Amino acid sequence: MTLGNTGSAERGERKTNGEVMSASMSLEAQYCAHNYHPLPVVLTRGEGVFVWDENGKKYLDMMSAYSAVSHGHAHPRLVAVVREQVATLTIVSRAFYTDKLGPFLELACKLTGQDMAMPMNTGAEAVETAIKAARKWAYTVKGVADNQAEIICCSGNFHGRTIAAVAMSDEAQYQEGFGPFPPGFRIVDYGNIEALRAAINVNTAAFIVEPIQGEGGIVVPPEGYLSAAADLCREHNVLLICDEIQTGLGRTGKFLASDHDGVVPDGLILGKALGGGIMPVSMFLARREVMEVFTPGDHGSTFGGNPLGAAIGLEALNIIVEDDLAARSAEMGDYLLQQLRDIDSPLISDIRGKGLFIGVEIDPSLTSARSICEALMSRGLLSKETHETVVRLAPPLVINKAEIDWAVQQISAVIATMEKVQLAS
């Protein structure tokens, strides 16, 4: 597979903080809040596992928009659904029924083993929905005293950027300058079942956990951790809520990452790939006892469950099932992990993951994950660093072996070059 440099040089280039900035980058830097540090590339088109920049250069996308593009860019079936639905009906709010929402939620519930669902838009909204559901369930069903409900979460977690989600985090940067934070959250060590056991008390409403931590650096807990947590929650009448916004829908080699442990949680949070890489679509799903705590007016979203999003979500789920993308993720993920583990370098301190959800841990004393991602970009491979120490590899689930081979060649070449630089210094 060849990814070549094509097209003319960018016009209007200038340098900012050492990076060459095109006119598009400069405009974004001027008018967009600087809450991201993008790699210096301007993308204009995508198809399958590839994207192209404004100069026509082709790249292999090993990021999938943080797992949102599991189906590949511009999937023909999804594009067709969008065209048809946009021309028919897009949004009327939940003030009315539509013909698209019911079938979408029915399939989502049947595929996940849940009874009911609350449609939302972004993952953060679905997390907020889960928090509200857990608290109200604690008061109305479990019998926790008013305003005493607690939710347990894990160190290194990432559940979004809202104030409540940030209150659940132990990442200092996520919290700095944004307090005060709502109370009622307790943080325990991820993967430590005894820490969870010690934290549970009569006020515990729920344990919200990522089966594999994404933003934490593709952190895989000890085998059996989730099933042990499920048993513990059941014993103490605590809701187990799995945040599968990144790990769900085939990403880790099973339809849900919780399937690896044979766990059906009391509540489930889905997003990202649910929108087919086209628009934000998310939902909170749960057993009936949990979802029925909501009454009209308790919670809502003007755009949540809109006909366009529901039509896309339904087709996205159908494609995952019909094309068996979970099995494909398992096969290609095992192959990618095997190829990566053949790279012998002191720069790499760990390689971990499941399915096509892989993290390459870089020794920060030798180089940064950002530097590796920038070097890979220059060779036509797009990834992104996590916490400056992990290179995330999460390509569209439709990637094939030839494309993986090419990706590993680029990674191996970059690692070898950087290793030589370190040995020479």
**Tens of pLDDT along 114-169?**
999 999 999 999 999 999 999 999 999 999 999 999 999 999 999 999 999 999 99
Q: Is 130 strand, coil or helix?
A: helix
What was the pLDDT predicted at 425? Answer: 72
**Block residue for tokens 């301190």:** 349
> What is the mean pLDDT of the segment spanning 387-409?
97
Tell me which residues are annotated as active site: 158, 243, 272
What was the pLDDT predicted at 8? Answer: 36
How long a stretch of residues is the chain? 425
Strands 239-243 and 204-209, bridge-based pairing: parallel
What was the pLDDT predicted at 423? Answer: 75
**Tens of pLDDT along 177-219?**
999 999 999 999 999 999 999 999 999 999 999 999 999 999 9
Q: Name the residue ranges covered by the structural domains of the chain.
A: 76-322
Q: Kindly tell me the sign of the dihedral angle through the C-alpha atoms of 336, 342, 345, 349.
A: positive
DSSP 403: H
Distance CA 271, CA 228 (A): 25
What was the pLDDT predicted at 14? Answer: 52
**Tens of pLDDT along 303-344?**
999 999 999 999 999 999 999 999 999 999 999 999 999 999
What was the pLDDT predicted at 11? Answer: 39
Average pLDDT, the chain: 94
Q: pTM for the full model? A: 0.94
pLDDT confidence band for 15 (50 / 70 / 90) = low
What was the pLDDT predicted at 387? Answer: 85
Contact predicate 74/47, CB 8 Å: yes
Could you tell me the fold of the domain covering 76-322? Aspartate Aminotransferase; domain 2 (3.40.640)
Distance CA 197, CA 194 (A): 5
pLDDT confidence band for 7 (50 / 70 / 90) = very low
pLDDT at residue 250 tops 90: yes
pLDDT at residue 91 tops 50: yes
